[in-house]
Amino acid sequence: MKWIIVTGDSKGLGKEIVKQILSDSEYGVIGISRSNEQSVLELIDMYPKRFKHLSFDLEKVMDIKELYTKHIRKIGPIYGLVNNSALAYDDIISNLNVESLERMFKVNVFSSMHLTKYAIRDMLLNKIEGSIVHISSVSAHTGYKGLSMYAATKGAMEAFSKNTAREWGSKGIRSNCVVPGFMETSMSASLSNEQKDRIYKRTSMKKETDVGSVASSVVFLLSDKSRSITGTVIHVDNGTI
């Protein structure tokens, strides 16, 4: 079984990524999120041998070592990691709150780096040429009012991914980023229809990004079909301009 770790597996993009990975019987998924949503319980019922869910708060960065050694390592060899989970702290920079900013960096950056550390160690131990995919954001490439701090976390992960690719490419371990545009998910649920309309008008296709299309791009990067792709950033954003 080829095990893929997916954070934020319980809803939105994470849930769709998990479903698409599990459509191939060659793979199993280790899902990580704080809550047991109904969708997670349904996946456990559908794929009792190929889907394992671990309830864990990614803000607890220092506990990730224990999460790996006591739980993840015992499930099976890791072939891929999708750092999808994210915390959005939206506000203009003049209102910066250090505590909120630190929480966001813990979830979006530090925990992703730690999981990458243990995924790579697992791949090296098992002599696996694995794939790591980080979910970035279009806000790291074009400005949106109130998203400067959130965008900073995604920009950090893009820089981290490119250098990870350089460090471990000789071992066949790849690292890439997928940059989704604005999707109809829980993270955008607080936006008004007027706000969404303004955002969608900034894209070439004048509509929201399809969640399934983003997930398919992630699954492609996890697969052997993308074996020559590393250190890159793939935009799935309806042509944001």
DSSP summary character for residue 238: S
Phi-psi region of 93 (alpha: psi -120 to 50; beta: other; left: phi over 0): alpha
| Rg of the chain in Å (alpha carbons) | 17
User: Residue 150 catalytic?
Assistant: yes
User: Do 83 and 116 form a contact (C-beta atoms < 8 A)?
Assistant: yes
Q: Which of 27, 68, 79, 150 is catalytic?
A: 150
Report how far residue 203's alpha carbon sits from residue 239's, in angstroms, rounded to the nearest whole number. 5
Pairing between strand 78-83 and 51-55?
A: unpaired
Residue 205 to residues 35, 99, 126, 160, 240: CA-CA distances in angstroms?
Answer: 34, 38, 44, 30, 8
Look at residue 83 and give its three-state secondary structure.
strand
| Catalytically annotated residues | 150
